[in-house]
Amino acid sequence: MVTDPMKPKTTGLKIISVVLAILLWFYVMNQGQLSARQNVMDVDLHYRFVAEGLTVDGPSTVAVRLWGVFQEPDRIEAYVDMTDIGEGTHNLPVHIEPVTGAMFTRVEPDRIDVVVRKTRQHIVAIDHEVIQNPPAGNEILDIMVSPDNCLVKGDDEAINQVRTVVCQVNLAQASDVAIFNVPLIARDVNGNLVTEGIRLVPEQVQVVAVIKETIATQTVPLRPNLVGQPAEGFELGTVKLETETITLVGNAIRVQPITEIQTDPLDLEGRAESFTETVSITLPEGIQGYPEQVQISVEIVSSEPQQEE
């Protein structure tokens, strides 16, 4: 048998192709991270290059199927190119950014219907809502929001749902002048959140809260604080204070529980005659009192029985 020198020798090539296919299969099975759990996943669908003044209504996710050797494809990006797409209903292709290590990718569905509408907008005043009051003994003097208006953008149906735009203010840890940034939220007529189909500009505002102590005034009895004993053969008689009450001013939490105040100690030790003395009044920290000192008249009398003449 004579071999035709012009006939291609393909047998060897076929054998090499089979061997390479087997080796590739072993590599994928043994070295890659592909699994049934990983090769099909839902990903967010983005609409790129939407023209100014337009809004897109369409699916928010698509399913992506991958084959190949890849490591945890956690950054798969699916998108629809909206370049030069105007108002109306359109059937557009879905694209996927290349995934490192994936030999093949497929998106389901690969085309979607989208509705493009003109964006409407209107200005809404921003209300603040205190969800947590300042610590006990403090009160809100003022709250300022900047800016005090926001722009609500979206399609007619979504914007018509918005009745109020608010920033929720938590003052649980606030004191003096507190400044912080707070995100805005939109609500409908029933107080429910409106999130779909709208955009708030800006998305957050600066809040300045002025907090002050809650000041209380209270008048309570003033008592003398007498220590020590008069000299032998003498005893304490009447004690009179120039004023028997004191007016306290301070944080309500500290002032309100007080039912009486004592003067600083007045020493009677060894006293054998009556006297008058000015005594200071020391108050708890953060509380002021009026008067700050008081005159006390103390009577010292003999404890021995008087002899009759």
CATH code for the domain in which residue 274 is found: 2.170.120.40
Q: How far apart are CA 242 and CA 103, in angstroms?
A: 98
Inter-residue contact 280 to 250 (CB < 8 Å): no
CA distances from 92 to 159, 197, 237 (A): 26, 20, 104
Shared-domain flag, residues 20 and 113: yes
Kindly state whether residue 309 falls inside one of the protein's structural domains.
no
Give SS3 for 253. Answer: helix
Q: How far is Cα 82 from Cα 95, in angstroms, rounded to an integer? A: 11
Q: Note down the domain range covering 25.
A: 11-117
Q: Does residue 177 share a domain with residue 130?
A: yes
197's enclosing H/E stretch is none
Residues of the chain falling short of pLDDT 70:
1-14, 18-38, 68-74, 101-104, 305-309
**Residue pair 230/267 in contact by the 8 Å Cβ criterion:** no
93 and 148, same domain (yes or no):
no
Task: Tell me, yes or no, whether 79 and 133 share the same domain.
Answer: no
Do 37 and 99 fall into the same domain? Answer: yes
The type of residue at 197 is: G
Are 74 and 140 in the same domain? no
- Residue 3 belongs to a domain: no
Q: Indicate the Cα dihedral angle 16, 22, 28, 30, nearest 10°.
A: -120
The answer to whether residue 251 is domain-embedded is: yes
Closest CA to 164 of 130, 143, 147, 188: 188
Same structural domain for residues 92 and 169? no
Does a structural domain hold residue 4? Answer: no
Return the number of other C-beta atoms located less than 10 Å from residue 291's C-beta. 14
**Which of the listed residues 67, 98, 117 is the one where a domain comes to its end?**
117
Q: Is residue 2 part of a domain?
A: no
Residues 208 and 222 in one domain: no
My answer on whether 178 and 272 are in the same domain is: no
Q: What distance lies between CA 246 and its chain's CA centroid?
A: 44
Residue 50 belongs to domain with CATH number: 2.170.120.30
pLDDT of residue 303: 81
- Parallel, antiparallel or unpaired: strands 177-187 and 164-170: antiparallel
**Of 100, 96, 99, which Cα lies nearest the Cα of 108?**
96
Residue 5 lies in a domain: no
The span from the CA of 116 to the CA of 100, in Å, is: 33
**Would residue 26 be called left, alpha or beta, if left means φ above 0 and alpha means ψ between -120 and 50 degrees?**
alpha
Residues 202 and 236 in one domain: no
DSSP, collapsed to helix, strand or coil, labels residue 203 as coil
Category of 79 on φ-ψ map: left (φ > 0), alpha (ψ -120 to 50) or beta: beta
179, 237: one domain: no
- Cα 249 from chain centroid (whole Å): 34
- Do residue 185 and residue 103 come from a single domain? no
Please identify, among 100, 117, 134, the residue that sits at the C-terminal boundary of a domain. 117
Report the C-alpha gap between 128 and 150 in whole angstroms. 13
User: What is residue 193's DSSP assignment?
Assistant: B
Q: Which of 213, 228, 250 is the last residue of a domain?
A: 213
How far apart are the C-alpha atoms of 118 and 155, rounded to whole Å?
A: 7
Q: Does residue 308 form part of some domain?
A: no
Q: Which two tokens stand for residue 15?
A: 């054998």
Residue located via tokens 């991270």: 33
pLDDT 10s digits, 62-81? 998 877 655 555 578 899 99
* Residue 1: inside a domain: no
Torsions phi, psi for 156 (to 5 deg): -55, -45
* Domain tally, the chain: 3
User: Would you state the pLDDT for residue 74?
Assistant: 59
